[in-house]
Amino acid sequence: MRFPTFLKSLLLGVPVGVTLLDCVGYVARVEGVSMQPALNPDASVTDYVFLSRWAVRNMEVQRGDIISLISPKDPNQKIIKRVVALQGDVIATLGYKIPYVKVPEGHCWVEGDHTGNSLDSNTFGPVSLGLVTARALQIVWPPSRWQQLPSTVPNSRIPITMGKRPATVANSGSKTANSHAASNGSGSTSNSSIATP
């Protein structure tokens, strides 16, 4: 019995598609105003961004990266924020329970660009790198907003002191910052919209 061409294509296409979504990346709609002006600059524009899972596969993020992560407050929600500080950095907080925080090992400090309109580390504290699911690389829709997303930290939010980054070591042709990097817990499904509470 011969399989029709459609079924052969389906049997090959589904695993390839799932692998791409799970390992490489996907496009997601950005909801909310917490990342203004970088994302959703006004109420009439909704940005769609390419989220690269591959870029964070070794839990390596840099200051200024815009990342998607599982919300520490609601594990069923993904949020998108900017990395402001990394492990070892000391950051002046904006309304957190203490005025200065030294970011613990295996964590980062994330904030929305729209200060005061963002549910971020100033509310829930440092975030485990294990919650990071992807890095936003580009705005892909609407066409008038096509652009790469730069990894920059606003001058007013640069950490007071910067911690030392662990030495990178070669690991089968790739580099890893931590030998204890946690799994990001991502499954083969993806949520196609990211909130910016």
pLDDT tens readout for residues 142-159: 888 888 888 888 888 888
Q: What does the pLDDT read at residue 191?
A: 45
Choose the weakest-confidence range: 3-7, 61-65, 135-139: 3-7
- Residue 165 CB neighbours (<10 A): 14
Distance CA 98, CA 93 (A): 7
With respect to residue 15, please indicate whether it lies within any of the assigned structural domains. no
**What's the N-to-C CA distance of the chain in angstroms?**
54
Q: Which of 68, 81, 118, 121 is catalytic?
A: 81
Q: What does the pLDDT read at residue 165?
A: 59
Number of domains in the chain: 1
With respect to residue 41, please indicate whether it lies within any of the assigned structural domains. yes
Distance CA 110, CA 126 (A): 7
With respect to residue 124, please indicate whether it lies within any of the assigned structural domains. yes
With respect to residue 138, please indicate whether it lies within any of the assigned structural domains. yes
**Cβ–Cβ < 8 Å for 115, 98:** no
For the question of residue 34 being annotated catalytic, the response is yes
Q: Which of 34, 52, 68, 121 is catalytic?
A: 34
For the question of residue 81 being annotated catalytic, the response is yes
Distance CA 121, CA 104 (A): 13
Which residues span the domain enclosing 85? 25-148
| Residue 37's CATH number | 2.10.109.10
Q: Look at residue 174 and tell me whether its pLDDT is greater than 50.
A: no
With respect to residue 183, please indicate whether it lies within any of the assigned structural domains. no
What share of the chain in percent tops pLDDT 70? 73
Q: What does the pLDDT read at residue 190?
A: 41
Residue environment code for 1-12, b if the CB has 16+ CB neighbours within 10 A, otherwise e: eeeeeeeeeeee
Q: What does the pLDDT read at residue 3?
A: 63
With respect to residue 130, please indicate whether it lies within any of the assigned structural domains. yes
With respect to residue 120, please indicate whether it lies within any of the assigned structural domains. yes
Q: Is the pTM of this model over 0.85?
A: no
Residue environment code for 57-70, b if the CB has 16+ CB neighbours within 10 A, otherwise e: ebbbbebbbbbbbb
Task: Encode pLDDT of 36-91 as tens digits.
Answer: 888 888 878 898 999 988 777 787 888 999 999 999 999 999 999 999 999 999 99
